[in-house]
Amino acid sequence: MDSAASTAFITFLLLLPRLCASAGDKIELGEQLLPGKPITSDGGAFVLGFFSPSNSTPARQYIGVWYNVPERTVVWVANREAPAIITNQSSSSSSSVPKLALTNDSNLVLSDADGRVLWTTNITTVVPATTTSRPVAELLNTGNLVIRWNGATLWESFDHLTDTFIPNMKVRFNYRTRQSGRIVSWKDSGDPSPGSFSYGVDPDTSLQLLIWNGSKPYWRTTVWTGYLTAAEYLTAAGNMYLNVVDTDEEIYLTLRVSDGASPMRYVITNSGNFQFLSWNMNSSEWNTIYSWPTNECSKYGYCGPYGYCDFTAEPVPTCKCLADFQPASGEEWSRGSFSRGCRRKEALPCGGGEFLALPLMKVPDKWVRKTNLTFDECAAECARNCSCEAYAHAKLSTSSAKGDINRCLLWVGELVDTQMMGQTPRGRAGETLYLRVPAGFASRKARTNVVKIVLPALASSFLFTCILLVCFCKFRDNRRKQRQKRLMTGSVYTSSEFVDENPAKDLEFPSIRFSDIAAATDNFSKPFLIGRGGFGKVYKVTLENGQEVAIKRLSKDSHQGIEEFKNEAILIAKLQHRNLVRLLGCCTEGSEKLLIYEYLANGGLDAILFGMFMSSQPMLLKKNRAW
């Protein structure tokens, strides 16, 4: 072999590894990326390589970037509409597999086994042939695949979004070109080609973001009020900040995470959900932190014109009509069909009416923006326009474009996709919407609200008073029953029981407390009074055990002494006979003298005790009765 041939052969051997495969985190000029030979970013967070999302035969191969975690999660796809088909999967020859290579014109080019170009970066910048600096493709630890030359970035994957939004990516809207960058869902879990749903900045206005289903709005964010930090999510894995940045050239949404945070990402799914997920290091799985839309009610225009989704309603958000509006079809509304929305209860004359403040609202879509108007000027602008239904005003941050720090929005058509936000886990949401209503509506509403507040308060007070009254009556009744119980169990014995336990010579008649008798008769009230005579009044009481007793309260005019009264009572108690009413007890306190008898119906005590002697008819006795 001559020297020239030897030199060429040695040069080929030295270049062979570079022609066959790349290494590390870069693809340099002349290198190729092959299936099964991925590269990893310098920090180890991301991987670039070939992947197949399904086990289809023939296998479809895609170039993608994914998180370097146990569950492969693709965040970017190069050739999502042009997969490389591998027909002979058993062959290990590099000539029978697709290749990704960096060419002399600084482009990354994906070609199939037959050499047909499936995807390219389409860089138009020409690198001078005389330059000593060579272009290089590098996978950064942010997940961004970039092509650099001579210190400049010629191309980056973060400018070509797929279905995922990760830290340091930007969802842009260019003021000059009116172009809006979007992330677009996969067609399904096994097909990364573009699906039906997309997410991005509204091209008709730069103040909100939307999810589209095809070309139709599917869900909408609240309108931007100028704050640089639009949202902040605190998770166990770290903090995430969703920022809105507004410059003279563009407005864009970007994502930042705290140092040391676990992997986090947004993704638009093939079912239309925009999800925020965080990687759980312990369980090695993705946890869904938030997902939008949260329910049917929050979908775009679900409640129809002039209807709104009330997120403060319990137990679930529901559709309602704005103030001074009613359902366009009560029957459909009652069936849960809200698409026809609401209509005004009464037409407003041109220039008439007033404005009702509705706080914490997601303002409607399709507004007219007026620049550099103060709040009062914004209100006046709407008031003098007969077609203006509502307005909203906000002070934007000083970073807003073109120096407009006063954001005035007017609605001159139907109010669509309105929500009452209320409080959120991260604080207040939404802003104040000023709705045109009939003159005097606000004062009538205030009076109605007062009635709604006062009537329940009065009803509650009345109910509370009734409860107290019932409790008092119950307490008094229970107290009387307790006194009756003490009257029955603590002091009262039948005369026979008393005599059995106390021989005549030792008999001491049971004395009952006056307070117990007074309680049992409700202080000697009329309902208990059953008779009266020269000796005093007689009261009837039913004891807790059902026994009825007669209480005779002797007149205070009686001159009988206490001792004579007691002796007489004891003497009566000693008289035991089945045909005589029994004396159960007595009371002597102060000037009070009371006798408690067993109650017998059909006659007074005098008739029972003395009727046999006073009767003009002879008494008929049973022959078998013993005396």
Residue 61 parent element (H or E): strand 59-67
The SS3 call for residue 584 is strand
Cβ distance 163 to 184 under 8 Å? yes
* Identity of residue 342: C
> Phi and psi dihedrals of 466, rounded to 5?
-60, -40
Q: Nearest CA to 549 among 480, 484, 477, 478?
A: 484
The SS3 call for residue 297 is helix
Cβ distance 197 to 213 under 8 Å? yes
Q: Which residues pair with 428 in a beta bridge?
A: 423
> Phi and psi dihedrals of 455, rounded to 5?
-60, -50
Cβ distance 257 to 276 under 8 Å? no
How far is it, in rounded angstroms, from Cα 161 to Cα 267? Answer: 11
How far is it, in rounded angstroms, from Cα 333 to Cα 326? Answer: 10
The reply to whether omega before 293 is within 30° of 0 (cis) is yes
- Distances in Å between the Cα of 74 and the Cα atoms of 49, 186, 348, 440 are 10, 11, 56, 59
Q: Running DSSP on this structure, what letter comes out for residue 159? A: G
Query: Is position 505 annotated in a ligand binding site?
Result: no
- The tokens 């509409």 sit on which residue? 81
* CA distance between the termini of the chain: 160
- Distances in Å between the Cα of 381 and the Cα atoms of 405, 411, 518 are 17, 11, 81
- The tokens 């007026």 sit on which residue? 370
How far is it, in rounded angstroms, from Cα 410 to Cα 382? Answer: 7
Residue 308: Cβ within 10 Å count: 27
- The tokens 């197949």 sit on which residue? 52
Pull the structure tokens for residue 174.
């260019």
Q: Which residues pair with 539 in a beta bridge?
A: 529, 551
How far is it, in rounded angstroms, from Cα 145 to Cα 508? Answer: 113
Beta strands in 106-237 (DSSP E): 108-111, 117-120, 136-139, 145-149, 152-156, 164-165, 170-174, 182-188, 191-201, 209-213, 216-220, 229-235
Is 410 buried (19+), middle (13-18) or exposed (0-12) by CB count in 10 A? buried
Binding residues: 552
Binding residues for ATP: 552
